Structure 1
Amino acid sequence: MDGRHRKKRPALWLMTDERVAPAALLAAAARLPKGGGGIVFRHYRTEPLARRALFEVLRTIARRRRLVLMLAGPVRDAAAWRADGAHGRDARRAARPLLRSRAVHDGREAVAVRRAGADLCFVSPLFPTRSHVGGRALGRVRFAALARQVDVPVMALGGVRRGHRPMLRGIGADGWAAIDGLTD
């Protein structure tokens, strides 16, 4: 990071998803390495009050374990919710320094990451995934090609599990993120 944010940029990320029961999600967050993990809180379809309540429980875990907690959505919301960062396409400035991440699924989004000044990106889906059943996976070759197009750290997402770690560096990934790979 370029000094805009006080926390270390993790190489391991838990992505939240409504398919995962809250208890399993909280347990996975509590297992992330102390001072070395991050959470991207999505839950886009969750009712607003329940979404905020779950975020607050995760924020308590994140603070206790020194994890980075990012909110998917508008930068203004991430700042108001006292998240450590914002995940998404919103490039507006925040009232305070926030870590910024974006998703990359194709070359157009890789170019957008460079222009947006993101701190890291999640390139996906590397492998087939249950969260996007029937979606086309990038595979190693196309993943590596996208990873070369960005100039920020790349996190591999989509069907990634701990056993894939040895292969990730060779295809341009600086770390990895998962839903099922961390909650199962």
Structure 2
Amino acid sequence: MAARYSVPVTTGQPLPFLWILSDARNDAQLEGALDRLPAGSGFVFRHYHLDPAARRERFDLLARRARARGHMVIVSRGAESFAQADGTYGRDRSAGRGLYLATAHNAAEIDAAERAGADGVFLSPVFATRSHERGDTLGPAGFHMLAQGTSLPVIALGGMTPDRAAEIDWPRWGAIDGLS
């Protein structure tokens, strides 16, 4: 169960246990959500819905807010232009430096993350979400089977809330709606 514990990643920084991910649907609540997270949590900036200039402006504002609380700041897509980010998020490492947090939904994608040198992996969807309402979920048993098969730190994602994190007995988790 090595993936369950806080371990230094290749950047030398410990990987936070709690993560909030941005989305169009939680944008209006992000400032308050970042303030409510425990200091030293993680923030993944996505904001795919914005044009590049507006996305950059929103990133700068939210990154300052996150940094004021001591949060790690990760960005997806276009990370090469976000120099103040601690790293990148997504399916490939091609566009970034620093910490790399992969996304995975199955064993093959976890293997790909390991081969790519990921520092951690968001494994989803554990439970049904607005993003994956009708799709298959891993469920607690499927999540544990996959998470325990990797040495990477695993971040549970998909329908996660504090109660669901307790239900699956997994301390490292993230949410969009569940923390907004």
Q: Structure 1 CA distance, aligned partners of 2:160 and 2:111? A: 24
Q: Structure 2 CA distance, aligned partners of 1:93 and 1:161? A: 30
What's the secondary structure of 1:33's corresponding residue? Answer: coil
Q: Structure 2 CA distance, aligned partners of 1:114 and 1:175? A: 18
The structure in which a higher percent of residues are helix is 1
After superposition, residues 17-36 of structure 1 pair within 5 angstroms as: 17-20=23-26, 22-35=27-40
Matched residue, 1:90: 92
Matched residue, 2:151: 151
Over 3 Å counting, the alpha-carbon distance change for 1:2 and 1:136 in structure 2 is closer
Q: Structure 1 CA distance, aligned partners of 2:16 and 2:51? A: 29
Identity %: 39
Where do 5+ consecutive residues of structure 1 fail to align?
none
Over 3 Å counting, the alpha-carbon distance change for 1:84 and 1:163 in structure 2 is same
Q: Structure 2 CA distance, aligned partners of 1:141 and 1:12? A: 21
- TM-score, normalization by structure 2: 0.87
Matched residue, 2:50: 46
Structure 1 position 2, deviation (Å): 4.0
Give the CA RMSD over aligned residues: 1.9
What's the secondary structure of 2:88's corresponding residue? Answer: strand
Instruction: Indicate the structure whose relative CO is greater, using CA pairs within 8 Å and at least 6 residues apart.
Output: 2
Q: Structure 1 CA distance, aligned partners of 2:92 and 2:80? A: 9
Aligned length: 173
After superposition, residues 32-181 of structure 1 pair within 5 angstroms as: 32-35=37-40, 37-77=41-81, 80-92=82-94, 98-169=98-169, 173-181=170-178
